[in-house]
């Protein structure tokens, strides 16, 4: 998505003016918030509002756009996952809601494929445990079968969690329809973590009882989570605001901004957005075409979102650097360019055009060319290791705020 680039407040606060070609990453602020959401939040901030009534308005918008019975807005998709799980355990029992995370006497087990227990900035299993629920893993990391899911479901099972993410294992998993069918046979509701997904209607239409989305990713809203699904389960998740959800609450500006982003999403010219993104990919591919040791090929999104990214692969002998070294150099340079590098140990990273301001695609290409020329001028392979760099990253984290 692109808007006219506004004045930049980052240097005045001593912050680096990064260019984001990583995607809708929380660690970078997720996305460029659409003007409609900015205007709606600014309009509401000076005024008081009855939050429950505002959430009722949100429920109607979410229900219409997600094809669900109801919906509500919470602090994040991660919070939405935790609160949806909590709701499956407590229902609308306010006493049980106030007792959480104590789950004595409640169905408190959540079945989830081991291959879906990924790390999205925090472990998926922690989002389950925060509700007081117990993780019941299904299958192995690279193979799960419906009979294993059936064997894991007991009279203590509160919910089944299905994670849709580029972080999960991409093969050998139970297909979504089979997962839903097996849970349905046993009366177990299915929650889908669809935080970074483009399709707002498909999971509920295909049988999910709850689907959880990020408002602040492809939709371009403020940081918030959208919980959509069955009215009784959405209500039970919403009621967690009287318990563990109090620490995950969202303000009036978050709810209003999410509503505005949803409405803008409905009106968005998605074909035009794709055309701008594809133009960036073509431009990068042309600029990088003759770089020694560098191959740049567009690839579709692994979870089926209707977009592509440019996969940049390096031959270390010819490029005189590893893929992780180029990614690190791009991040450290001026301007800093942050690439999508979660698979960098395999010798490649991605350039994602979805969060570029006009003209930034040119700066990205220039930075890649600059760092590749610098590496070739060394006339020897790079030094150090990815493991060492990751250790340095952990050390910097542990030294925060210094």
How does pLDDT run across 347-399, given as a tens digit for each residue? Answer: 999 999 998 999 999 999 999 999 999 988 876 665 678 878 778 878 887 87
pLDDT interval class at 5 (50, 70, 90)? low
Tokens matching residue 118: 């990924």
Asked whether the predicted pLDDT for residue 151 surpasses 80, the reply is yes
Paired strand residues for 112: 137
Tokens matching residue 365: 């290409």
pLDDT tens digits for range 309-360: 999 999 998 888 899 999 999 999 889 999 998 888 889 999 999 989 999 9
Q: With the CA atoms of 236, 240, 244 and 247 taken in that order, what torsion angle do they form, in degrees rounded to the nearest 10?
A: 140
CATH number of 11-28+269-398: 3.90.1150.180
Spatial separation of the C-alpha atoms in residues 225 and 300, rounded to whole Å: 25
For 183, residues 6+ apart whose C-beta sits below 8 A from its C-beta are 111, 149, 153, 160, 189, 190
Please choose, from the candidates 19, 120, 28, the residue with its C-alpha nearest in 3D space to the C-alpha of residue 353: 19
Paired strand residues for 384: none
The percentage of residues in the chain with a pLDDT greater than 70, rounded to a whole number, is 97
The CATH-assigned architecture of domain 35-267 is: 3-Layer(aba) Sandwich (3.40)
pLDDT tens digits for range 234-282: 999 999 999 999 999 999 999 999 999 999 999 999 999 999 999 999 9
Residue 399's φ and ψ, nearest 5 degrees, are -90, -5
- At 183 the three-state DSSP class reads helix
Domain ranges for the chain: 11-28+269-398, 35-267
Average pLDDT score over residue span 200-224: 92
Spatial separation of the C-alpha atoms in residues 374 and 250, rounded to whole Å: 47
Which helix or strand (DSSP H or E) is residue 111 part of?
strand 109-113
Tokens matching residue 394: 């952990």
Paired strand residues for 193: 163, 212
Where is average pLDDT lowest: 70-84, 115-129, 261-275, 376-390? 376-390
- DSSP β-ladder status, 70-74 and 294-300: unpaired
Which helix or strand (DSSP H or E) is residue 21 part of?
strand 19-21
């Amino acid at each position: 998505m692109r808007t006219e680039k506004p004045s930049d407040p980052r240097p005045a606060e001593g912050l680096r003016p990064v260019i984001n070609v990583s995607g809708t990453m929380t660690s970078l602020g997720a996305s460029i918030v659409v003007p409609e959401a900015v205007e709606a939040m600014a309009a509401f901030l000076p005024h008081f509002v009855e939050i429950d009534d505002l959430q009722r308005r949100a429920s109607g918008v979410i229900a219409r756009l997600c094809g669900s019975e109801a919906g509500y807005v919470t602090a994040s998709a991660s919070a939405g996952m935790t609160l949806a799980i909590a709701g499956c355990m407590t229902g609308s029992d306010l006493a049980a809601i106030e007792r959480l995370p104590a789950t004595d006497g409640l169905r408190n087990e959540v079945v989830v494929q081991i291959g879906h227990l990924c790390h999205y900035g925090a472990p998926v299993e922690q989002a389950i445990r925060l509700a007081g629920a117990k993780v019941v893993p299904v299958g192995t990391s690279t193979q799960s079968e419906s009979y294993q899911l059936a064997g894991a479901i007991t009279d203590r099972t509160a919910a089944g969690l299905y994670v849709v993410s580029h972080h999960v294992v991409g093969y050998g998993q139970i297909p979504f329809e089979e997962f839903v069918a097996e849970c349905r046979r046993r009366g177990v509701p299915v929650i889908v973590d669809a935080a970074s997904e483009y399709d707002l209607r498909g999971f509920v239409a295909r049988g999910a009882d709850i689907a959880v989305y990020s408002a602040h990713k492809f939709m371009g809203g403020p940081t918030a989570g959208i919980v959509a699904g069955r009215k009784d389960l959405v209500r039970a998740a919403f009621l967690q605001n009287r318990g563990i959800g109090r620490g995950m609450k969202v303000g009036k500006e978050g709810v209003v901004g999410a509503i505005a982003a949803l409405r803008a999403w409905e009106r968005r010219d998605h074909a035009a957005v794709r055309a701008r993104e594809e133009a960036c990919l073509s431009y990068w591919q042309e600029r990088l075409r003759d770089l020694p040791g560098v191959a740049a090929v567009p690839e579709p999104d692994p979870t089926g979102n209707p977009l592509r990214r440019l996969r940049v692969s390096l031959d270390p002998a010819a490029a005189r650097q590893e893929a992780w070294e180029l990614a690190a150099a791009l991040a450290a340079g001026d301007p800093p360019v942050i690439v999508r590098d979660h698979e960098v140990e395999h010798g490649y990273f991605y350039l994602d055009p979805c969060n570029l301001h006009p003209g930034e695609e040119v700066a990205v290409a220039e930075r890649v060319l600059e760092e590749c020329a610098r590496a070739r001028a060394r006339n020897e392979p790079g030094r150090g290791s990815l493991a060492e760099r990751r250790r340095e990253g952990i050390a910097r984290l542990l030294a925060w705020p210094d």
